[in-house]
């Protein structure tokens, strides 16, 4: 029997503020096949980045976002 990998939602506090910021981050996140879905809640005080993945750890996402020039830190559950 084949079992699908369980997707995990990773949640981060960022300083991604506007559409231009999202476009910069999108080029990197969209290029990573391990990122299944993602979004940024610009209305939230923490500008929350949510990543759905079945095989990524937080450090990898933080690195990707930092390379784009933005702050990123994991939010506790």
List the chain domain ranges. Answer: 8-74
- Cα separation, 1 vs 4, whole angstroms: 10
Note the pLDDT tens digit of each residue in 2-38. Answer: 666 667 899 999 999 999 999 999 999 999 999 999 9
CATH fold, domain 8-74, is: Alpha-Beta Plaits (3.30.70)
Reported pTM: 0.88
Q: Where does the pLDDT of residue 76 fall: very low under 50, low under 70, confident under 90, or very high at 90 and above?
A: confident
Q: State the residue for tokens 């084949």.
A: 2
Per-residue pLDDT of 38-50, as tens digits, reads 999 999 999 999 9
Q: How far apart are CA 62 and CA 2, in angstroms?
A: 31
Residue in 53, 51, 74 with CA at minimum distance from that of residue 6: 53
């Amino acid at each position: 029997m084949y079992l699908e990998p369980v997707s995990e939602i990773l949640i981060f506090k960022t300083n991604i503020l506007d559409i231009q910021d999202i476009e910069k981050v999108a080029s990197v996140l969209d290029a990573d096949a391990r990122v299944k879905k993602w979004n940024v809640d610009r209305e939230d005080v923490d500008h929350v980045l949510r990543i759905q993945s079945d095989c990524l750890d937080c450090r990898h996402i933080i690195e990707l976002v930092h390379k784009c020039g933005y702050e990123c830190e994991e939010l506790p559950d």
